[in-house]
Structure 1
Amino acid sequence: MTILIETATIVDRNSPYDGKVCDILVENGVIKAIGTGLTTTADTIVRQPGLHVSPGWVELFANFGDPGYEYKETLVTGAAAAAAGGYTDVFVLPNTKPALDSKTQIEYVMRASANLPVTVRPIGAVTRGLEGKDLAEMYDMHNSGAVAFSDGTLPVQAAGLLLKGLQYVKAIDAVIIQVPDDRTVGANGLMNEGVISTRLGLPGKPMMAEELMVARDIKLARYTESKLHFTGVTSPRSLEYIRRAKESGLAVSCSVTPYHLFYTDADLKDYDTNLKVYPPLRDEATVQVLRKAVLEGAVDAIAAHHQPQEYDSKVVEFEYAKPGMSSLETTFAALRTALPDLSVARTVELLSSGPRAIFGLGRPSIAEGQEAVLSFFDPAGKTMLTTSASKSKNNPFLGKTLQGRVLGILNGRHLHLNQPES
């Protein structure tokens, strides 16, 4: 199959064509030619106003629910949402039933997702059954295709167990991902602890629960000299701890979510369960610090934290609603809207080269002879999502007009183009 991408602005610091407007000819998933005014017969022509092309984006913390929770999301619907959101690669969480805690489960995901438009990369569990008691067989999972290790939305609480896990993954040069949360602090919290939680009469979750875990885990990473990634970071003090760890030479990195940059706890005034997320939304002052940290380069990646929930888990009283939102399709636009001063190059770094560097995926370059792993987008376009490719619709951005628009992806031989604006 031959695909001609016409008049595209290339955004790739590793490419000799970075910043140039070029045509790109792709044959059977490989970039054959890059230049201006390419004339050739192609099976498909990609032509869009404002078209920008970058190396494929990577989502590092998404729950596709398969196996066990297919009523929330499946590998097929999750991959469709990811492609619509501009992602060529997605790390899927082990929070399934059964958990992704063995070679067999990792191989299942690899086989079941082999023909999907995005590359699905399973995260192996750190502990058996995500129970936080015994280590899972991480070496076997790594050999079967596990891209990293985490207990996902149930972060490892026992210091001694995480210490063993960090020692274990060092031998295979793998990364452990933690949502930093000491679950014994504010265990019944439903939102950020502060003025708004008091006003709404909801029990609060203090940022201290995150900060304690970040400080502890950094000490463990220093002791083991292993790789550790914090995702869903929301606290300015956590960012400071992580900055110091990096400066001391530790292999520690972090990511934040687009919704923690967009919304604040004040947006919960109407008890919108789609905004009940984990970790919780923080106050306005904290969000401003997070935004500044992203702009200044203190954050290594953006993670969508795609957590689809079925209707019955969200259309209930706030106390009983399950946390999380469906977010893959709106991450780019939410990021561009929350941070209008964020450069296009920095946006691509947060979505592509940042996560690829952390997890050793290599950096596909937009150059002749390279595999075509590309994301298409228009930073000046508009997004107003009225429907979703995800099986679950718990996305608070539905119906909102956002800055920036995803146009599609080309992942090897898989081409997905979003419908043009009407």
Structure 2
Amino acid sequence: MNILLKSAKIVCPDNKGLHLKKRDILIKKGIIDKIGVSLEAPSNVKVVEKDNLHVSLGWFDSSVSFGEPGFEERETIANGLFTAGKSGFTDIVLNPNTNPVPDTSSDIVFLKERGKGKATQVHPIGSLTKNSDGVDLAELYDMKNAGAVAFYDFKKQIANPNLLKIALLYAQNFNGLVHSFPQDNNIKGKGVVNEGEISTMLGLKGIPALAEELQVARDLFILEYAGGKLHIPTISSAGSVKLIAEAKKKGLDVTCSTAVHNLFFSDETLKGFDSNFKVSPPLRAKSDCKALIKGVKNGTIDFVTSDHIPLDVEHKRVEFDNAKSGSIGLESAFGALNTLFEIEETIRLLTKGRDRYHIEEPQFTEGSKACFTLFDPEQTYTFEVKDILSTSKNSMFIGTSLKGKVYGIINNGQSNL
């Protein structure tokens, strides 16, 4: 793969020499050969010129779900990685919510083999417990050796506090990262949306922020006792931000993420009873959105994720109470973040997180592997079904005005431009 990017504005805040400079970038056989003001295209080199072309290091998403194996009608690994690449992501962490769940080393090998040779690289998470049943720990060490980057019972509460304690203690032997979903099911009960004025008005059962914050507080106490590395995915409440900020001040090894949609939408969007807005954790009040955005800006919240969850129409086009939770988000992630934040902050959020999962960090230097995302940060548009590349179409962003379009990626010796 030989490519010459012409007049690309580089967005790389960590590289002061190149940040916000327009440069030509020559890539030969997947390696950055030259970066210069005006480079001539050698023979057998594809020249790429785009309107308002910007380039950054490749983007990373810490929470992506597909369907294969078991739910291929929702999304295959091949089409999922194609969608991720066209959405600007060069690396994605794959959630363990398939059928069967990946709870052995052979399952991890299967997922890595299915994603091998693609422009977007897949990094699978292994199930924390066997069959994600929350009873016995899965083969954590073997899965780590096979390539699992963390361990997680996807969107399921670790109900047994001793299980979390043992997992944190055991994973320290091989520097493993444990995920714990922030939700107490006993407090959640049969709730489907955020508990508050909107849920009361709509007559829908509520999930109080207490259900999340109680679990977060418990997990942080266990982490303080046991040690280890803990990641709390997709927090949604102001109280959770405060609890995690206090834990970090204590020096605990904890990170957390929030979903783009929990920053962008509040529970007021539920007034239309559109099941695409049913997610877990739920969309919360505007005050929570503000607290989450503040937490992102001050670094309390480590990563922002698309929390991409494809679901077939049979699980979404039903009564709100009966619909499954989840929204796709890869295709809209950049446009939504770029609408909320300045472009430099947006790129910072989209490129951070790899180190937590021990994934190689790309570099913007000559001689390094080319790992780039190409985009136009100024283009505004209304997100429509035609913008969705996923097999499933359950996006809450349909009809929303967004800012920023992705051209594609260059990574792993390939491009999809």
TM-score by length of 2: 0.96
1:372 is aligned, of 367, 370, 373, to: 370
Deviation at 1:22, TM superposition (A): 0.8
Gapped regions of structure 1 (runs ≥ 5): 418-422
User: Which residue does 2:343 correspond to in 1?
Assistant: 344
What SS does the corresponding residue of 2:185 show, helix, strand or coil? coil
Gapped regions of structure 2 (runs ≥ 5): none
User: Which residue does 2:88 correspond to in 1?
Assistant: 86
Write the distance in 2 (CA, Å) between the matches of 1:408 and 1:350: 18
Write the distance in 2 (CA, Å) between the matches of 1:175 and 1:157: 18
1:245 paired with 2:247, answer: yes
* Deviations 1:188-218, CA, capped at 9 Å, x for gaps: 0010000110110010000101101111111
What SS does the corresponding residue of 1:250 show, helix, strand or coil? coil
Write the distance in 2 (CA, Å) between the matches of 1:248 and 1:135: 28
Deviation at 1:249, TM superposition (A): 1.2
Q: How does 1:67-82 map to 2 (within 5 A)?
A: 67-82=69-84
User: Which residue does 2:149 correspond to in 1?
Assistant: 147
User: Which residue does 2:281 correspond to in 1?
Assistant: 279
Write the distance in 2 (CA, Å) between the matches of 1:288 and 1:367: 37
* Deviations 1:120-156, CA, capped at 9 Å, x for gaps: 1110111000000000011000110101111112232
User: What is the total number of aligned residue pairs between the two structures?
Assistant: 413
Q: Is the 8 Å Cα contact of residues 125 and 152 (structure 2) preserved in structure 1?
A: yes
- After the TM superposition, list the runs of 4 or more consecutive aligned residues in structure 1 that deviate by more than 6 angstroms: none
Q: Is the 8 Å Cα contact of residues 277 and 327 (structure 2) preserved in structure 1?
A: yes
One-letter identity of the residue aligned with 1:233 = I
1:104 is aligned, of 103, 106, 111, to: 106
User: Which residue does 1:389 correspond to in 2?
Assistant: 389
One-letter identity of the residue aligned with 2:2 = T
Q: How does 1:157-172 map to 2 (within 5 A)?
A: 157-172=159-174
Deviation at 1:383, TM superposition (A): 4.0
Q: Is the 8 Å Cα contact of residues 28 and 412 (structure 1) preserved in structure 2?
A: no
Q: How does 1:250-329 map to 2 (within 5 A)?
A: 250-329=252-331
Write the distance in 1 (CA, Å) between the matches of 2:359 and 2:80: 21
What SS does the corresponding residue of 1:155 show, helix, strand or coil? coil
Question: CA RMSD for the aligned pairs?
Answer: 1.4
Q: How does 1:93-242 map to 2 (within 5 A)?
A: 93-242=95-244
What SS does the corresponding residue of 1:211 show, helix, strand or coil? helix
Q: Is the 8 Å Cα contact of residues 12 and 365 (structure 1) preserved in structure 2?
A: no
Q: Is the 8 Å Cα contact of residues 30 and 412 (structure 1) preserved in structure 2?
A: no
Write the distance in 1 (CA, Å) between the matches of 2:48 and 2:299: 33
One-letter identity of the residue aligned with 1:310 = D
1:11 paired with 2:2, answer: no
What SS does the corresponding residue of 1:65 show, helix, strand or coil? coil
1:44 paired with 2:43, answer: no
TM-score by length of 1: 0.95
Write the distance in 1 (CA, Å) between the matches of 2:380 and 2:181: 32
* Deviations 1:323-363, CA, capped at 9 Å, x for gaps: 101111101111122x1xx232222221112x113222232
**Mean Cα deviation higher: 380-389 or 195-204:** 380-389
Write the distance in 2 (CA, Å) between the matches of 1:335 and 1:366: 23
Write the distance in 2 (CA, Å) between the matches of 1:212 and 1:250: 18
One-letter identity of the residue aligned with 1:9 = K
One-letter identity of the residue aligned with 1:89 = D
